[in-house]
């Protein structure tokens, strides 16, 4: 396997994260062997997949002389929490632009954002969606006036720079799989802002195009993520072709790219659950000791199991599910799960 050139990165993640088989689940399903890539364990207080992208994005910010990271997401955004903690780790300032409504209590990720010392601005949901660029401009100007150097990180750190996170993770996964003596037939991940899917899709395209990559959407449509993956990869190719001896043009590269997004497991909407999702979360926790979250990984894993049952992977021997983190997202759903404690 050829090894990838890399642009500058800061070290935030503890790599490699473990890859291990879920053999009780595999036996129960009677299908391909399912492996889990434990990227919930990257670092920054279980910040999951965002840590890998931030390693490259923050290096880019530092290269530009920036000292203030401005980013956005929902009130319980894992990405915003990761950015807040990464900023504290690096001695930078973080400003989070959050999409309301703000729930009554300071819980989960918002609690961690506050403890990590981030500046936090919460906007009404409709206003946020309609005016995000203007809000970013407002805060950028404010920081420039104060003599700071702001750097805007887009939603989920999913852009041409962030692609590196899962491009290099693909190499890590293939090396680990090879040490176990197999080549995955497919990699499967949750997809929310598209950067993880884009990195894995590009990674397999460059390193081993026989491996399928499937992004299971937690919002938006398959068409949206197919296009978003190509946009991120095109941006990446425009920016980094100089690192490679021969890379097709961005147009050719994105035309060659085989992108698969599956949008049948979103349920009622982003961060809105359904009974089969909650059932998947509790059964995997007791069967394998693996904790999924209701917003991202739970939907993706439920989708993977359904796709296996429907025969999509009939010819596959090994599938790697990329666990992207999100455990703090489980707590707001605490009342849905049965309390099995017996009081004596
Ligand atoms: C952000 C996130 C995702 C989605 O990754 P994208 O690269 O934004 O598509 C998946 N799982 C968890 C836990 C996340 O926080």
Q: Name the percent of the chain in helix, strand, coil, to the closest 5.
A: 50, 15, 35
Cβ of 47 closer than 6 Å to ligand 1, yes or no, is no
Cβ of 165 closer than 6 Å to ligand 1, yes or no, is no
Closest CA to 328 of 36, 120, 45, 37: 45
Q: Which two tokens stand for residue 244?
A: 């490679």
Measured in angstroms, how far is the CA atom of residue 222 from the centroid of ligand 1?
Answer: 16
Active site residue 168: no
Say which residues have a Cβ less than 8 Å from residue 133's Cβ, sequence separation at least 6.
none
Count of residues making up the chain: 344
Cβ of 83 closer than 6 Å to ligand 1, yes or no, is no
Contact 186, 214 (CB under 8 A): yes
Cβ of 201 closer than 6 Å to ligand 1, yes or no, is no
What's the pLDDT at 1? 53
DSSP assignment, residue 58? H
Ligand 1: which atom is nearest the Cα of residue 196? 7
DSSP assignment, residue 105? S
Contact 41, 18 (CB under 8 A): yes
pLDDT digits (tens), the chain, 344 positions: 568 999 999 999 999 999 999 999 999 999 999 999 999 999 998 999 999 999 999 999 999 999 999 999 999 999 999 999 999 999 999 999 999 988 767 888 999 999 999 999 999 999 999 999 999 999 999 999 999 999 999 999 999 999 999 999 999 999 999 999 999 999 999 999 999 999 999 999 999 999 999 999 999 999 999 999 999 999 999 999 999 998 999 999 999 999 999 999 999 999 999 999 999 999 999 999 999 999 999 999 999 999 999 999 999 999 999 999 999 989 889 999 999 899 99
Q: Active-site residue among 3, 47, 77, 158? A: 77
What's the pLDDT at 2? 60
Cβ of 71 closer than 6 Å to ligand 1, yes or no, is no
What's the pLDDT at 94? 98
Residue nearest to atom 8 of ligand 1 (CA): 193
What's the pLDDT at 106? 82
Contact 261, 197 (CB under 8 A): yes
Please tell me the pTM assigned to this model. Answer: 0.97
E strand map for 57-185: 68-74, 93-99, 119-123, 150-152
């Amino acid at each position: 396997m050829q090894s990838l050139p890399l642009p500058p990165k800061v070290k935030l993640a503890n790599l490699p994260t473990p890859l291990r088989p879920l053999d009780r689940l595999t036996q129960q399903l009677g299908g391909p062997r399912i492996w889990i890539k434990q990227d919930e364990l990257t670092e920054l207080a279980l910040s999951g997949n965002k840590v890998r992208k931030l390693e490259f994005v923050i290096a880019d910010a530092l290269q530009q002389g920036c000292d203030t990271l401005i980013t956005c997401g929902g009130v319980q955004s894992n990405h915003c929490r990761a950015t807040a903690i990464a900023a504290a780790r690096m001695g930078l300032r973080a400003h989070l632009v959050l999409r309301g409504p703000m729930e009554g209590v300071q819980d989960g990720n918002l609690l961690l954002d506050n403890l990590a010392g981030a500046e936090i601005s919460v906007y009404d949901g409709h206003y946020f969606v309609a005016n995000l660029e203007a809000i970013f401009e407002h805060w950028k100007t404010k920081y420039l006036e104060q003599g700071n150097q702001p750097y805007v990180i887009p939603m989920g750190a999913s852009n041409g720079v962030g692609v590196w996170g899962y491009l290099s993770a693909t190499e890590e996964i293939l090396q680990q799989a090879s040490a176990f003596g197999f080549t995955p037939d497919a990699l499967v991940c949750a997809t929310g802002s598209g950067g993880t899917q884009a990195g894995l899709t590009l990674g397999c395209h460059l390193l081993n195009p026989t491996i399928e990559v499937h992004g299971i959407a937690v919002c938006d449509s398959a068409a949206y993520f197919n296009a978003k993956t190509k946009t991120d990869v095109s941006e990446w190719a425009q920016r980094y072709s100089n690192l490679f001896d021969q890379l097709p043009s961005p147009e050719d590269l994105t035309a060659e790219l085989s992108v698969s997004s599956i949008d049948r497991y979103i349920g009622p909407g982003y961060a809105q659950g359904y009974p089969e999702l909650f059932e998947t979360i509790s059964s995997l926790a007791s069967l394998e000791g693996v904790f999924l979250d209701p917003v991202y990984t739970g939907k993706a894993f439920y989708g993977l199991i359904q796709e296996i049952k429907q025969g999509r992977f009939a010819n596959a021997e090994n599938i790697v599910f990329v666990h992207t983190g999100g455990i703090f997202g489980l707590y707001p759903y605490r009342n849905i799960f049965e309390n099995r404690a017996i009081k004596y």
